[in-house]
Each structure stands twice: as structure tokens, then as C-alpha cells.
Amino acid sequence: MKKFIQDYTIGSYHTNQYAKASVTSLFNMMLEAAWKHAQVMDWGYDNLKLNNMFWVLSRVYFEFERYPDWQEEITINTWSAGTDGMYAYREFILEGAQKEVLLKASSAWLILDVETKRIVRLREFMDTFPRLNELQACRNPKRIKASKLSEGLSYRPVLFSDLDVNKHFNSVKYLERVLDRLGIDFLNQYELASLEINYLKEGMAGDQLAVDTEKLDDLHYKSTIFRESDGLPLCCMDTHWRAREA
């Protein structure tokens, strides 16, 4: 099993107002690299669809060293990091043109049955998802405990533009909502140093969602996204921040 390597040039549509690649653009690039590698492994979207199965991202953890600049050449390296029989683990390292590490990430994925939505166990496929030479980009993502539902939250609907190919609220859209909830003034002062996400339930078209954010200390926040109809948490995030360079 080899690494999958994908080169990108940071375009204007990848950047924020500081001419740096946004965290959501980098997240999307990494997910695309993961899908492409799964296709190469014959475990991609098309292959699973033939057997009434699909991939879902369950957990992910990021460590940000530096955000690439507009027009910068970057390389995403991703590889299989094994399976424990339920999760299939995948890791990422994003490098700059001089091979310096810009970002490290680890993710945990599930395969679900299209009809029952039950988890497909991977114990019999241990050889299909080997760990690459015991290489580890960073620690595996951990479980985040959801907050209790607060009163007076502001709910917004899941719209057409929020849906992915599985007709679910897109993984990156959860992050966008959390960032928007923190606000422009906060994001002008701080950038993410690390990010951890747990996806708990599927958001669907028409769901009304709200973000509840708790400040744990000056640069550490926990956010939970709730669904109005049943009060259930769909996603939890743990975010650590650092001062944005002038």
C-alpha cells in the first residue's frame, strides 16, 4: 500500500481575506484526495454504491502549522492507517513547495448500509486497510462529549447548497456554521491551531440546525450543532486557537 499524492495550487477561490488558504478549502481538498485514493483501492464511492454501501466521515483531527498562501504550490499526502474492525483510519500530511509540513491530520471513517444505515464491520477486510509502515501523521481523533441542549438557540435550515452526493449535510458545512457563529471580529483576531470534529448524526434537507458554543478557556472552545426537531446533537467540535499574524 502506497501513499496517494495530490498536488494543488492555491487559487483565489481557496483563500480568505488574508490571501491564505481557508481551513474549509484545505478540508475539502483533503476529502477529495481521500475519495480519489479510495477509488484507487477499489473502495471508492462507485464501488460501494454497487453493493448498497457508502462511506461517512466519523471523526477527524487537524494540527495546523501554517496556512498556505494564495498561488502557493502544495502537496497532499494521504494513506490508509489501518482498521480496528469498525473504523477505517486515514492520515494526511500537507506539504509546501520545500517539503515543509503545513498541516497534519488523522481521520476515522465508517461504511454504512444504504438501506439500514447500519455499520458494515471491517474485520474481514483487515488486509485491505493496512497501516503504511506504521507511519503516523498525528494522534487519532478522540471522542468529544456533546453539550446539553441550551434554550434560545437560533436555528437555520439545511439548504440545497449544503447537501453532498449522499444527500446529507456536507461535512465541511458543519465547520462553516461553527466559524460563522464565532463571528468576523473573532476570526480577524485568531486562526485555528488545532481542530477536532465528531460527526454523530446525519443532517438532511429541511432540518433546522443551531450551533451552541462554549468557551472553555481563552483560546479553547467546544461547539455542538443541534437539530431542532428532536433536540439531538449532530456534530461536536473542539477548537484551539492562536493569534492571527498581522
3-class secondary structure, 46: helix
CATH number, domain 143-246: 3.10.129.10
**What are the structural domain ranges in the chain?**
1-141, 143-246
Give the C-alpha distances (Å, rounded to integers) separating 204 from 22, 58, 183: 25, 16, 25
pTM of the model: 0.94
C-alpha cell at 176: 462553516
**Residue 138, C-beta contacts closer than 8 angstroms, at least 6 positions apart:** 61, 63, 91, 104, 105, 106
Strands laid side by side in the 101-113 sheet = 4-9, 73-83, 88-95, 101-113, 53-64, 190-199, 233-243, 220-227, 208-217, 156-157
Residue 134 has pLDDT above 70, yes or no: no
Q: Tell me, what's the pLDDT at 245? A: 85
pLDDT in tens, 176-189: 999 999 999 999 99
Residue 135 has pLDDT above 90, yes or no: no
Mean pLDDT within 225-238: 98
Residue 1 has pLDDT above 70, yes or no: no
Bridge pairing between strands 190-199 and 53-64: antiparallel
Q: Tell me, what's the pLDDT at 126? A: 74
pLDDT in tens, 183-229: 999 999 999 999 999 999 999 999 999 999 999 999 999 999 999 99
d(Cα 234, Cα 173) in Å, to the nearest integer? 12
Residue type, 169: F
pLDDT in tens, 57-73: 999 999 999 999 999 99
Residues 197-236 as b/e (b if ≥16 CB within 10 A, e otherwise) read: bbbebebeeebebbbbbeeeeeeebbbbbbbeeeeebbbb
Same fold, 1-141 and 143-246: yes
Query: 234: closest CA among 161, 164, 165, 178?
Result: 178
Q: Tell me, what's the pLDDT at 33? A: 97
Whether domain 1-141 has CATH 3.10.129.10: the reply is yes
Residue 74 has pLDDT above 60, yes or no: yes
Residue 132 has pLDDT above 70, yes or no: no
Is there a contact between 56 and 199 (Cβ–Cβ < 8 Å)?
Answer: yes
Residue 167 has pLDDT above 80, yes or no: yes
